[in-house]
Structure 1
Amino acid sequence: MTPAQLRAFVAIVRTGTVKQAAAELELTEQAVSMHVAALRKSLGDQLFTRTHSGLAFTPGGLRLAARAVEILGLQDQTVSEVGAAAGGRRTIRLASSSLFAEHAASGLIDLFTKRANDLEVELSVQSPDQFASLLASRAVDVAIGPVPRDGQLADSGHLHNAKEFLSFDLEVLAAPTHPFAQRRASPEELARATWNLGPSAAGAHDAIPAMITQLGVPDDRQRIFQSDAAAWEETRRGTGLTLAPTFAVRSELQAGHLTRVSGPNNHRRNTWCAMTLAHDPTRTASELMRFIGTPKAVQAMLRGSGVPVKNFRPAVYVTLWN
């Protein structure tokens, strides 16, 4: 088996046809078919057959699909690590939920990278639903976000190490001039209110969308901003309600720019969790998994690492993946 053959097969699995796989790989259909024919001969398995409803994969073909993604991911990881080692650097790739990335990642990453001069971090904002597949394909080394739902990691077919490390409160907030700042709001009033929310509200299976669902807020009452900070700024003007982790808006509450809204279901306890592959994680990933639950790490996530803003130069590269 060659990487080219595996990439051709994975593209067919992903797109469903040889024609679309060829277009994705910028190859001819004949070239893709030749790669598949070589795989079939090498493995002694048809891998898939064509039917009126599309491609039907053999049990061996399905097993190869899962293994091929992992093999190609290991190849890409190895190339990246060799290149980094040649430059005297180590790189750890993190996937993070939007909520964690905006409010806690910078403190954690800054403190963690200070432990070694040769360490760099690549952070990508991802949907928690993609964590298992990203870890399985070795696209990332560690994923950080909400505690996975029952069976969410097991469904990927790989064993994972999951570590809960930080609990936080999510609350409903408003400007002091908002009517709900003066009195208790009913569930019906909360559902009819205008809500200013950050990008994590547009996802699924994260803290803010879960609370919005619990409050019964329909989509047409939600305004999604490019960040939680932008949503809070709009809320400070007195237009609408917002949701925020309590630790992230402590100064806003103390200054009286925002205030808590009383009412049913207006408070929710959440926990963040770090995940990596249980077998063969990178050395740096194992270091981060041990470090992330320490008191210093938790302090850095909640309040920052104490570095003056003018000196804040973490070795972090942020990439936004679709």
Structure 2
Amino acid sequence: MPMTLGQLRTFALVARLGSLRAAAETLGVSEPAVSSALTALRHDLGDPLFVRAGGGIALTPGGRALAEYAQDIVGLADQARWEVSNAKNDAGRLKIASTAPFAEHAAGRLLDLFTKRAPGASVDVVVESAEDLASLLQERAYDIALGARPTAGTAVTGPRLECVPFLRYQRALVAAPGHPLARLHGPVPVARLLDRPWFAGPAGIQDGSEEGRWLASTGVAPEIIRLSSETEALAAVRAGEGIMLALGHIVRAELQSGVLVRLPVVGTPVAGLWWASTLDRRRTTTLAQTLQRFAGTADATAAMVAPGGSRGLERRGSKFHVALWS
């Protein structure tokens, strides 16, 4: 009997989990049923595929070769099934996950321009935490994620992700001119700023971001007050209530006019990247790939960093959740 998709799915799971029992529990079948599927596959291919080892299995060279193909074949079959079942209702619709800073400061401009360049496309955007992006993409809850790069650790056992950087940014520590810290002369260590509150948006300073890694490298933990948006946090900073790691292109005009001042802190400004992430190209949608490419174009970059005007998405309830149509 030639190999079947069910046998390949079973083998791919056994190879990934390293155990027939674990694969049976995941599939909701008996261990003998898993063993039977693998026996048929071994006979068809003329290779043992694996041997029992240390309470689990160890793949043979032939088993390792098949494991890579099996995962790809199963993934393509799942993608085909999903595309067919969603083709009627989701034609031209793009489900987007965005991290909060990107949603607030650039998503509106990017998606406004994209829907004008892609006739018939509609986009639905929800803000999610950076830590959840990888699993949400793998579960096909969204077609594409914009903002922070998905945390690699959550994507080890799932489909591969294509992560493309599309916008560089800088974050600088800023304060009002009358704030006590504004009188400091640099370079100033971060430790000297700990007796003052730091403001941030609802996501705080994300561990997976460049600014989060920079702060972790300093070995200090400032008091961070999270407000409903970075815009609100910046208003508190202008009022002299504290300091903030603000996006450089957002506060550029205020720094030039003296409404805000940049604190000369060691290691700042912090350079970072925003990413467009999808499942790998054999599993993602054409429209998601189109947006991923478009985000890195000169026109898109110019729109996102241009001064003035609205940049973000409208907040509804506890999350940003909007639909934009061309």
TM normalised by structure 2 equals: 0.66
In 1, distance between residues paired with 2:180 and 2:9? Answer: 58
Instruction: Call closer, same or farther: CA 1:313–1:51 in 2, change over 3 Å.
Output: closer
Aligned to 1:320: none
In 2, distance between residues paired with 1:249 and 1:294? Answer: 23
Aligned to 2:67: 65
Whether the aligned pair in 1 keeps the contact of 2:14 and 2:20 (CA below 8 Å) is yes
Cα deviation, residue 56, structure 1: 1.5
In 2, distance between residues paired with 1:307 and 1:209? Answer: 22
Aligned to 2:301: 298
Any stretches of 5+ residues in structure 2 without a counterpart?
Answer: 151-157, 316-321
Instruction: Call closer, same or farther: CA 1:223–1:3 in 2, change over 3 Å.
Output: farther
Pair 1:85 & 2:95 matched: no
Q: Identify which range, 167-176 or 226-235, moves more after superposition.
A: 226-235
Cα deviation, residue 61, structure 1: 2.6
What is the one-letter code of the residue matched to 1:171? A
Cα deviation, residue 169, structure 1: 1.5
In 2, distance between residues paired with 1:122 and 1:42? Answer: 47
Residues 163-178 of structure 1 correspond to what in structure 2 (within 5 A)? Answer: 164-174=165-175, 178=179
Residues 105-144 of structure 1 correspond to what in structure 2 (within 5 A)? Answer: 105-114=107-116, 115-120=118-123, 125=128, 144=146
Aligned to 2:287: 284
Whether the aligned pair in 2 keeps the contact of 1:196 and 1:234 (CA below 8 Å) is no
In 1, distance between residues paired with 2:149 and 2:53? Answer: 40
Tell me, what secondary structure is at the counterpart of 1:104? Answer: helix
In 2, distance between residues paired with 1:139 and 1:43? Answer: 36
Q: Identify which range, 257-266 or 28-37, moves more after superposition.
A: 257-266
Whether the aligned pair in 1 keeps the contact of 2:172 and 2:246 (CA below 8 Å) is yes
Instruction: Call closer, same or farther: CA 1:14–1:242 in 2, change over 3 Å.
Output: farther
Pair 1:27 & 2:37 matched: no
Aligned to 1:151: none
What is the one-letter code of the residue matched to 1:57? L
Aligned to 2:215: 212
Cα deviation, residue 267, structure 1: 0.5
Q: Identify which range, 259-268 or 122-131, moves more after superposition.
A: 122-131
Whether the aligned pair in 2 keeps the contact of 1:232 and 1:242 (CA below 8 Å) is yes
What is the one-letter code of the residue matched to 1:313? A
Tell me, what secondary structure is at the counterpart of 2:219? Answer: coil
Whether the aligned pair in 2 keeps the contact of 1:196 and 1:223 (CA below 8 Å) is yes
In 2, distance between residues paired with 1:124 and 1:69? Answer: 30
Tell me, what secondary structure is at the counterpart of 1:169? Answer: strand
Instruction: Call closer, same or farther: CA 1:301–1:82 in 2, change over 3 Å.
Output: farther
Instruction: Call closer, same or farther: CA 1:313–1:283 in 2, change over 3 Å.
Output: closer
Tell me, what secondary structure is at the counterpart of 1:263? Answer: coil
Whether the aligned pair in 2 keeps the contact of 1:171 and 1:245 (CA below 8 Å) is yes
Aligned-residue identity in percent: 35
Instruction: Call closer, same or farther: CA 1:273–1:161 in 2, change over 3 Å.
Output: closer
In 1, distance between residues paired with 2:35 and 2:226? Answer: 46
Cα deviation, residue 274, structure 1: 4.2
Superposed CA offset, 1:243-282 (max 9, x none): 2322345698799997532222220233435467578975
Any stretches of 5+ residues in structure 1 without a counterpart?
Answer: 149-155, 316-322
Tell me, what secondary structure is at the counterpart of 2:323? Answer: coil
Cα deviation, residue 6, structure 1: 3.0
Cα deviation, residue 229, structure 1: 3.3
Pair 1:313 & 2:323 matched: yes
Pair 1:189 & 2:191 matched: yes
Superposed CA offset, 1:13-58 (max 9, x none): 3433222222222222222222222332333332322212632222
Whether the aligned pair in 2 keeps the contact of 1:169 and 1:245 (CA below 8 Å) is yes
Whether the aligned pair in 2 keeps the contact of 1:109 and 1:121 (CA below 8 Å) is no
In 1, distance between residues paired with 2:75 and 2:289? Answer: 18
In 1, distance between residues paired with 2:6 and 2:147? Answer: 34
In 2, distance between residues paired with 1:124 and 1:47? Answer: 44
Paired residues in the alignment total 303
Over aligned residue pairs, what C-alpha RMSD do you find?
A: 4.9
Aligned to 2:181: 180
Q: Identify which range, 236-245 or 27-36, moves more after superposition.
A: 236-245
In 2, distance between residues paired with 1:68 and 1:146? Answer: 31
Tell me, what secondary structure is at the counterpart of 1:262? Answer: coil
Instruction: Call closer, same or farther: CA 1:287–1:157 in 2, change over 3 Å.
Output: closer
